[in-house]
Amino acid sequence: MKVIPSSEVPKLIKDGDSVLMTGITLGGFAEESVMEELLLELENRFLETGHPNNMTFYWQAAVGDMNTKGLSHICHEGMMTKGIGGHLNGCGRAMTEFSRDNKAEIYNWPQGVCVGMLHAIAAHQPGVITKIGLKTFMDPRYGGGRMNDAAKDDLIELLNIDGEEWLLYKAPKKINVAIIRGTVADENGNISMYKEGYKLGQLSAAEAARATGGIVICQVERIVKAGTLNPRLVEVPGILIDYVYVAKPEYHWQTAASIYNPVFSGECKVPMDSIPSVPLTERKLIARRAAMELKVGDIVNLGVGNPTVVSNVAAEEGCSSMFTLTTESGGIGGVPAAGNDFGCAWNGDAIIESGSIFDMYDGGSLDVGCLGFLEVGPNGDLNASKRNGLGIGVGGFMNIAGGASKVVFMGTFTGGKTRESTPKFKVGDGKLTIVREGDMKKFINQVAQVSFSGEVALDLGKKILYVTERAVFELVREGLKLIEIAPGIDLQKDILDQMEFAPIIADDLKEMPKELFQEEWGGLKDIMNAQ
């Protein structure tokens, strides 16, 4: 192992290299700050010299802050010519536009596949064989994970094994450079991650690079004397590490929002009342109704955006201990952090490898997944990966939706093309009032991209709900069935006229509980105990 300054790292990356960056960042995961120093150096070198060029990049979900940081720095024509990752939007708008404009071949894989692929590469396996992605745009019959016209390669193959359909996501043959992060390295290169809030596949990434003849570079906050690390705290052994560099403090935050929070790394716990409450808006209303689908003992995952509010609602209602929340980054228990701390957890019970959590999800151990949506079709097909013509990617969405026994999709009934045209609501006094209707219908005849197959979900016997501020739908064989309507809402004007297709209307159409539409609720515990 050799210690080098960060400025030397770009010189280790050559023209035509395949570069793997660990991390499942999405706005808040630490890789946003992890890679920033390195990526800036890499970008500057390319702009000054034209090298390194013609690179292929692999990433798990997103490396960025959804703005200008992270993989935005490699979005220069000729610098990256091929990219495969679990998410695009989290890498910054530059990445989504780079893909839209066909400046490189861009492919999107489910996050769980990206994580599992590290093990496949390390073991010289042909790839990842899974049912995740069948009859979605991952399926080679419907796009093969290609995010733009420049993407021509057949990276996903449809298999028939014992009469069942499977997808083979093909393993890359070569990882020239793997870039990972730890908290400290000792003088022999042993890496500990004791201050990290998650485990993002650093070990398997290092093994994958070594298995294909590549090098491994690790960012840490400091170097310690050899022999001073507890072997049980060593996550990546020094025999797999080629280079270590010490990051500047401003580039080694724990998350995009927190320099260091010991709660996230499990070093202490705080009173649950320190978890912030949220105001009564349509987001909280939707989260309250989604929370009603949870029962005591459930294992649950909350997606990005609206779904994260479910954890705040549970904390307010004193129900956090009645079920177990999990995160794609490996957090078990506690309350998942929101905003730019997303991926960490308050008062977690365990932090396991992200690859292991996806094994749990894909294997059916997940009882409930709460996820967002962009568009819904008449047969329950759903788009969560393409917005306003820009491919944003699926992240862990497909693994969660594919593995959970019950899926609760959450979002507003309509949307807006601009901030000024998004819907506005007044929630209170036991009812919902629409102040301004959104100018974009979300329940439409044909979704822009199929991220979730209603047919596959029904074939697997899943319960699927679509929860909005004004209506709740259930997926049945005949299509979407309207089962609840908010108090204060007109069925024709506010629901049916705002859809491109006619749903099935339940014979026993119910009104959503009025208690959800008032400042204080206090009913969740009784609902959960009764199920």
Residues designated as active site: 328
Structure tokens at 217: 């570079």
* 3-state class percentages of the chain: helix first, strand second, coil last, to nearest 5: 30, 25, 45
Q: Provide the sign of the torsion angle of the four alpha carbons 269, 274, 278, 284, taken in this order.
A: positive
Nearest to 353 by CA among 203, 239, 191: 203
Distance from C-alpha of 367 to C-alpha of 464, rounded to nearest angstrom: 12
Structure tokens at 76: 């220069």
Secondary structure letter of residue 411 according to DSSP: -
Nearest to 506 by CA among 479, 469, 530: 479
Q: Provide the sign of the torsion angle of the four alpha carbons 252, 254, 257, 262, taken in this order.
A: negative
Task: Yes or no: say if 153 and 147 are a contact pair by the CB < 8 Å rule.
Answer: no
Q: Provide the sign of the torsion angle of the four alpha carbons 485, 487, 491, 495, taken in this order.
A: negative
Distance from C-alpha of 397 to C-alpha of 133, rounded to nearest angstrom: 10
Residues 6+ apart with CB under 8 A from 286: 306, 309, 410, 411, 412, 467, 468, 469
Residue whose token pair is 């009104």 = 511
Q: For residue 118, which amino acid is it?
A: L
Q: For residue 264, which amino acid is it?
A: F
Q: Provide the sign of the torsion angle of the four alpha carbons 447, 453, 458, 464, taken in this order.
A: negative
Structure tokens at 343: 């991926």
- What are the Cα distances from residue 521, in Å, to 277, 285, 305, 318, 524? 13, 10, 22, 11, 8
